[in-house]
Amino acid sequence: MVLSVLVAVLAVALGYFILNDVTSGGAAPTIAPIVVEATTTIPVETIPVETTPTTLPYSAFKIQIANASKVAGSAGQLTTELQARGFIVQPALNSSEITPKLNSTVVYFLPGSEEAAAVVASALGGVATATMPTPIPTETGGLGEATILILLGTDLAGKPLPAAAPAAPVATTVAPVGADTTTTTVAG
């Protein structure tokens, strides 16, 4: 029991430090493993997203929002705000149980939805984008009909959206939740 709690605390702390390092580094595309279980890693390739302005209509794709901020009601609030701007947003969810509390919001996309991710990231004020991690970090483990997932962090939780998108969308690429450039295995 004590060992299980210690391993869980260590995993959350490690995830926090890794996420902070990844989001502050602005690294080039790399292959990075994701720790899925205590002894399993999966390599994930991060891909930069073009940040040129687009005319893609907001109704051309569907968005799923998952609350990883642990601020109650914040994913629902963001859902309502994006719907008011014309986006098609599915009912809000929570992040998966293994997803740590996030400080920074990330827009994840399925292959082929890079342009839509850039539009959403711009509407959120220029947050980071990344390819969809496996497993999908929602409480259901899925996206429904969505191709975009906003994993809501504390930076935007409970805060109103920016009044207008920047003239040129600014999006960066980060590795998926829990990714690192080195293989990390935690023995249980």
Query: What is the CATH class of 2-152?
Result: alpha beta
- Please state the pTM of the whole predicted model: 0.61
pLDDT in tens, 127-144: 999 999 999 999 999 999
Residue ranges per structural domain of the chain:
2-152
Instruction: Give the C-alpha distances (Å, rounded to integers) separating 70 from 17, 56, 107, 112.
Output: 18, 31, 17, 30
Terminal CA-CA length for the chain: 11
Q: What is the pLDDT of residue 25?
A: 53
Q: Is 186 exposed, middle or buried (0-12, 13-18, 19+ CB in 10 A)?
A: middle
Point out the residues of the chain with pLDDT beneath 70. Answer: 1-54, 164-188
Q: What is the pLDDT of residue 31?
A: 54
Q: How far apart are CA 105 and CA 67, in angstroms?
A: 9
